[in-house]
């Protein structure tokens, strides 16, 4: 058994997590532990509501359809927070393990109980499991890591006390198949105070953008240089992005309007991924990248690096 407690320097976790939740058993209770002021949503467009609230995490009664990957999701199952004495994240090499560990750490702090992540290894070979713990541990604070040698996934959480809350990543396939047949179903039967199933999503632009930074097309080049120091700047008219202008075009242009000097707009969508935004880093550097909705309205500015 290997313990990674305190061995690695970890970046501080943000104190703020924007959580939204939908109606369902345990959803309100879980969301209130993850965020001091969670917002209830429902009855409208789920995508639009998550964007409007700049949501980092959606707490829902079930996992949304597989095509929904806008925000991270957490689903409480038989959640009994008043009985929890320990939080354990079952982690491995899957895409949701980092989120599982982060949620477990946050729940441990909120409930005032120990939190740990457990990774399984085959007998006499714990290298892969240890590497997983080390990688996750470099990003998630306040959680210990432990490798457990097991012969099958059913025995990963064997021996946990009755007060253990388990956090685990969603597996593939349909929701019904995961509930009835997946490894997660076998692990859930081990937990006496409930399970939180999590599914991670790519970082999206709306979570990191700030207020839009722009100039009107009728503004003169000289005035633009006086009030803005960006190398490249959004040009907007009546709220719509109509182009971008580069500082090199403004220098020496005197009273020429910006609209005569601008070029085709470069931008990212509000629901686009951060990876897509980085494709524009050679043009913008740290200057705000224009962010638009799907009607070309300028709704924000994204400064790199983020995440």
Backbone angles phi, psi at 175, to 5 degrees: -60, -45
Same domain membership, residue 240 and residue 159: no
**pLDDT at residue number 307:** 62
Helix axes 127-137, 97-111, angle to 10 degrees: 60
pLDDT tens-digit series, residues 205-242: 999 999 999 999 999 999 999 999 999 999 999 999 99
Whole-number pLDDT of residue 5: 30
Digit-coded pLDDT (tens) for 137-156: 999 978 999 888 876 656 66
DSSP characters for 136-170?
Answer: HHTT--S-EEEEEE-SSGGGTTTT--TTEEEEEE-
Asked if 54 and 187 sit in the same domain, the reply is yes
Last residue of a domain, one of 137, 166, 201: 201
Number of domains making up the chain: 2
- The Cα–Cα gap between 287 and 255 comes to 24
131 and 262 both lie in a single domain? no
192 and 74 inside one domain:
yes
Pinpoint the alpha helices (H) of 149-233: 175-180, 183-188, 221-227
Is residue 127, in this structure, part of any structural domain at all? Answer: yes
More confident call, 256 vs 119: 256
Tally Cβ neighbours within 10 Å of residue 65: 10
Please confirm whether the linkage preceding 305 is cis (ω < 30° from 0). yes
Task: Show which of 201, 224, 251 is a domain's final residue.
Answer: 201
Which residues face 115 on adjacent strands? 87
Same domain (yes/no): 148, 39: yes
Q: Give me the mean pLDDT over the 99-103 stretch.
A: 95
Could you identify the residue written with the tokens 């490249």?
232
**H or E segment and range at residue 31:** helix 27-34
Within a domain: residue 4? no
Whether residues 195 and 236 fall in one domain: no
Consecutive H or E run containing 164: strand 164-169
Q: Which of 154, 176, 201 is the last residue of a domain?
A: 201
Q: Read off φ and ψ for residue 133, nearest 5 degrees.
A: -60, -40
Alpha-carbon distance 291 to 263, whole Å? Answer: 16
Give CA–CA dist 298/210, Å, rounded.
Answer: 11
124 and 70 in one domain?
A: yes
- Co-location of 160 and 101 in the same domain: yes
Measuring CA to CA, which residue among 250, 253, 218, 248 is closest to residue 236? 218
Residue 248: CATH number of its domain: 3.10.580.10
Residue-wise pLDDT tens digits, 162-206: 899 999 888 765 444 444 445 555 555 666 789 999 999 999 999
CATH number, residue 126: 3.40.50.620
Q: Domain range spanning residue 24?
A: 19-201
Same-domain pairing of 150 and 287: no
**Per residue in 51-88, pLDDT tens?**
999 999 999 999 888 788 999 999 999 899 999 999 99
């Amino acid at each position: 058994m290997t313990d990674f407690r305190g061995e690695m320097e970890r970046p501080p976790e943000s104190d703020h997590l924007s959580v939204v939740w939908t109606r369902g058993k345990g959803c309100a209770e879980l969301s209130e532990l993850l965020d001091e002021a969670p917002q209830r949503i429902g009855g409208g467009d789920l995508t639009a509501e998550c964007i409007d609230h700049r949501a980092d995490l959606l707490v829902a009664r079930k996992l949304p359809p597989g095509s929904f990957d806008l925000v991270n999701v957490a689903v409480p199952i038989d959640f009994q927070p008043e009985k929890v004495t320990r939080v354990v994240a079952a982690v491995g090499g899957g895409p949701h393990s980092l989120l599982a560990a982060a949620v477990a750490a946050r729940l441990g702090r909120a409930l005032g109980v120990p939190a740990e992540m457990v990774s399984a290894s085959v007998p006499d070979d714990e290298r892969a499991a240890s590497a997983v713990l080390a990688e996750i541990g470099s990003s998630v604070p306040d959680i210990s890591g432990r490798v457990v040698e097991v012969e099958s996934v059913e025995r990963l959480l064997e021996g946990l006390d009755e007060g253990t809350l388990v956090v685990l990543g969603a597996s593939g396939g349909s929701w019904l198949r995961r509930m009835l047949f997946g490894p997660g179903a076998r692990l859930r039967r081990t937990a006496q105070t409930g399970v939180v199933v999590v599914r991670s999503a790519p970082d999206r632009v709306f979570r990191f953008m700030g207020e839009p930074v722009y100039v009107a097309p009728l503004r003169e080049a000289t005035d633009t240089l006086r009030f803005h120091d960006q190398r490249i700047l959004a040009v907007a008219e009546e709220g719509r992005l109509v182009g971008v202008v580069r500082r090199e075009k403004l220098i020496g242009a005197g009273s020429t309007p910006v609209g005569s000097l601008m070029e085709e707009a470069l931008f990212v969508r509000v629901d686009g991924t951060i990876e897509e935004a980085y494709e524009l880093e050679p043009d913008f550097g740290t200057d705000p990248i224009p962010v638009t909705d799907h009607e070309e309205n300028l709704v924000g500015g994204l400064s790199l690096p983020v995440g």
